[in-house]
Amino acid sequence: MQPAEIEFIRETFNLSQRDLAKALNVAPYTVARWETGANEPAGLQQEVLRALHRTAVETASRTDDSAANVGTLIALGIGALIFYLLTRDESVTKTKPARQSTARRRRR
């Protein structure tokens, strides 16, 4: 993820570095370092930022208040944000359910 892409996410959804940091459960200085290229997001934060960037690209061309709605979800925190991103992504909702663990099957 490029620094400009992270800035694009914040600008599209009208978020401060602090807002985005809170949603991703990182410190505000971490977002600042991502935007300067000093560090790169990894793990869950990287995946959420990728999904947010796709959403920002789709939303930027609209004239309705989609960006404000997603910005509100981001401000609510990572739980609401992940739920939104997962439920709107068809490839995630069409995956097979995980198999039960061996221990759980034995109890039945």
- What is the residue whose two structure tokens read 């959403």? 55
Q: Which pLDDT does position 57 carry in this prediction?
A: 85
Residue 106 in any domain: the answer is no
Q: Which pLDDT does position 18 carry in this prediction?
A: 92
Burial class of residue 102 (count of CB atoms within 10 Å of its CB; 0-12, 13-18, 19+): exposed
29: three-class secondary structure by DSSP: helix
Residue 101 in any domain: the answer is no
Q: Kindly report the CA angle at 3 between 39 and 80, in degrees rounded to 5?
A: 90
The parent domain of residue 45 ranges over 3-93
Q: Which pLDDT does position 92 carry in this prediction?
A: 44
Q: Which pLDDT does position 89 carry in this prediction?
A: 57
Residue 64 in any domain: the answer is yes
CATH no. for residue 44?
1.10.260
Q: Which pLDDT does position 99 carry in this prediction?
A: 54
Residue 62 in any domain: the answer is yes
Residue 8 in any domain: the answer is yes
Domains in the chain: how many in total? 1
Other C-beta atoms within 10 Å of 6: how many?
Answer: 23
Q: Which pLDDT does position 81 carry in this prediction?
A: 65
The pTM of this model reads: 0.64
Q: Which pLDDT does position 95 carry in this prediction?
A: 45
Q: Which pLDDT does position 101 carry in this prediction?
A: 52
Please list the rounded mean pLDDT of every run of 10 residues in the chain (108 residues).
94 88 91 96 90 83 68 64 65 48 54
Q: What's the CA gap between 98 and 2, in Å, rounded?
A: 33
